[in-house]
Structure 1
Amino acid sequence: MMNLAGYRLARRDKASRKLAVVAPVVALLLSIALNFALYMAMGKNPVAVFQAMLIEPVISWPAFSEVLLKMTPLLLIAQGLAAGFRAKVINIGAEGQFILGAIFASAVPVWFPQISGLWVWPLMIVLGGIGGMLWAVVPAIWRVRLNASEILVTLMMSLIAAQLLNFLLVGPWKDPMGFNFPQSVIFPLDATLPLILPGTRVNVALAIALIWSVACWVYLQRSFQGYQLMVGGLAPQAAGYAGYSQSRAVWMSLLIGGLAAGLAGASEVAGPVGQLQRSIASGYGYSAIIVAYLGGLHPVGIVFSSLLIAILYIGGDNAMVSAGLPVAAVRVFQGSLLVCYLAAITLVRYRVIREPKGIRA
């Protein structure tokens, strides 16, 4: 219960599922209205901006295929983060785990540039997942053994990962034939992911992301282990009385998030990028936090929210070119979308009650 200047928020006995589904739609409409006013204040044509941002990415197959490509890492990471968020284990370091997944996957073609075989890209995907999980081990140990905040530790680990990436690309892994650019060698064909949609750049990583989403749904919604995970994080004392371990919930939450981010990092370097670059750290790990919450921390909702954020990614690029919109305005749209959703979902779960004047604090 929260007191707000004569009003209080009382938790509803039972939140409406219909309103929970409607909340993201309301949040999208509110954020569109807010940003419409912002673009007018900036002297931009709001209709042209929203045409470029929300319509153009979905009206042609080439543009929509790029949306699917952008959706893949967001979907992978957000599904992994949502498992921890539901257990109140807040992993903010998916960006670092993404980078480590990309580094681990890139080790194969960097060390063996002439490597070939159908087993190469699956090995890279596996190594990427391992790299992401290993980067999540440190915050897990600090949380379980020292009770350190996983929010701070995972965030700091992301900064370390970015510096490790810089070190490798300007040092031992820099392509000697790359005209001094901070990038690795270009990966051979067998170290890149097969395409699944002819005429596009959409690769097998999209199928992996969808399979991962199904696995997360089964684990969180239909398995006893998923129930233990949520109870261990939400009610540690009750979980301990029932024989569930809070420490296990922390470990599982962070390792699942690290695995998902590592898989995304591996799929990015082995997919559309085709080499390890500095630009691989493009903020997917942070954007996936918005995706997870906008999807209601539910595996099915996250599929749709990842598609929406991917549209905003591609549409934002279109708006910057065709409507002269600055990149900061695109990020403001994403941030306002999350704020509006959190406000909407709060009203779904709570009701506002006005307190009588005589009992106000």
Structure 2
Amino acid sequence: MLTLEKRAQPSRVWTLAAPIFAVLLTMICGGLLFAALGKDPFETIRTIFFDPLFSEFAWFYRPQLLIKGAPLVLIAIGLSFGFRAGIWNIGAEGQYIVGAICGAAVGLAFYPTESIFIFPLMIVAGVLGGTLWALIPGILKVKFDTNEILVSLMLVYVAEQLLASMALGTLRNPDGMGFPGSRNLAKYDSATSWISEICRHALGRCRCPDRCHLCLCDAVAPSVWF
């Protein structure tokens, strides 16, 4: 069984080199995989790693990278606590999905009411939803000595089915002409508006969408704190 032990003195070299090494290793392994499939590995690496930052459409891709990357940063911070305790949590995606469902459900429940309390309530609901979903493999581990890696991973697929069920049923947009999906909360001028305004002033004259300001603050604040 793998065990995690804290270093007496963290290596400064590896602290800087590890992320770079991980990206390079990803490029090499991914390139070999695409080469085995008969694809140009260099074209693939350029499309994935360089075009979003340096292509003619980078002005659109860069904010999207921040928007998509912010949840991953928050997930990584949350997982670090479990890893430090020697607990392997492979079901972060499922916990993120359930948390998002719970948070969205609160926002949709108040639609179209506008209040500064809605967004904090959405955050609380999201945290509780993800926490309760993570408790399932934890309780099974304590009570029945199940494998938390397998259980947490399998619960990801359960969460995906739950998301599909909500999008097609309980949370479906009544004005969406039967298409799956909830109301677009981004068009709902609720509690997020004042938070976006604060983030915009904090980041200065950044030519990014409001979602980008909010996601960037959400990711940077806990990263600096921890």
Please indicate, yes or no, whether the TM-score normalized by the shorter chain is above 0.5: yes
1:203 aligns with 213
1:73 aligns with 71
Q: How does 1:1-361 map to 2 (within 5 A)?
A: 17-19=12-14, 21-59=16-54, 60-187=58-185, 188-190=188-190, 192=192, 194=196, 196=200, 197-200=206-209, 201-215=211-225, 217=226
In 2 relative to 1, CA 26–179 (structure 1 residues): closer, same or farther, beyond 3 Å?
same
**Count of aligned residue pairs for this structure pair:** 205
In 2 relative to 1, CA 147–114 (structure 1 residues): closer, same or farther, beyond 3 Å?
same
CA offset at residue 34 of structure 1? 4.2
Distance 2:71 2:213 in 1: 12
Larger Rg: 1
Distance 2:130 2:82 in 1: 15
Distance 1:91 1:164 in 2: 20
C-alpha distance after superposition, 1:89-136 (max 9, x if no partner): 011121221122111111223223211023322221222112111222
Distance 2:34 2:191 in 1: 44
Stretches of structure 2 lacking an aligned partner (at least 5 in a row): 1-7, 201-205
Stretches of structure 1 lacking an aligned partner (at least 5 in a row): 1-12, 218-361
| Equivalent AA in structure 2 for residue 150 of structure 1 | E
2:5 aligns with none
In 2 relative to 1, CA 89–64 (structure 1 residues): closer, same or farther, beyond 3 Å?
same
Distance 2:146 2:28 in 1: 40
C-alpha distance after superposition, 1:49-94 (max 9, x if no partner): 3332222222344322211111100100011112211222011121
In 2 relative to 1, CA 34–172 (structure 1 residues): closer, same or farther, beyond 3 Å?
closer
- Give the alignment's Cα RMSD to 1 decimal: 2.8
TM-score for the superposition, normalised by structure 2: 0.76
CA offset at residue 41 of structure 1? 5.0
In 2 relative to 1, CA 192–178 (structure 1 residues): closer, same or farther, beyond 3 Å?
farther
C-alpha distance after superposition, 1:251-309 (max 9, x if no partner): xxxxxxxxxxxxxxxxxxxxxxxxxxxxxxxxxxxxxxxxxxxxxxxxxxxxxxxxxxx
CA offset at residue 20 of structure 1? 5.5
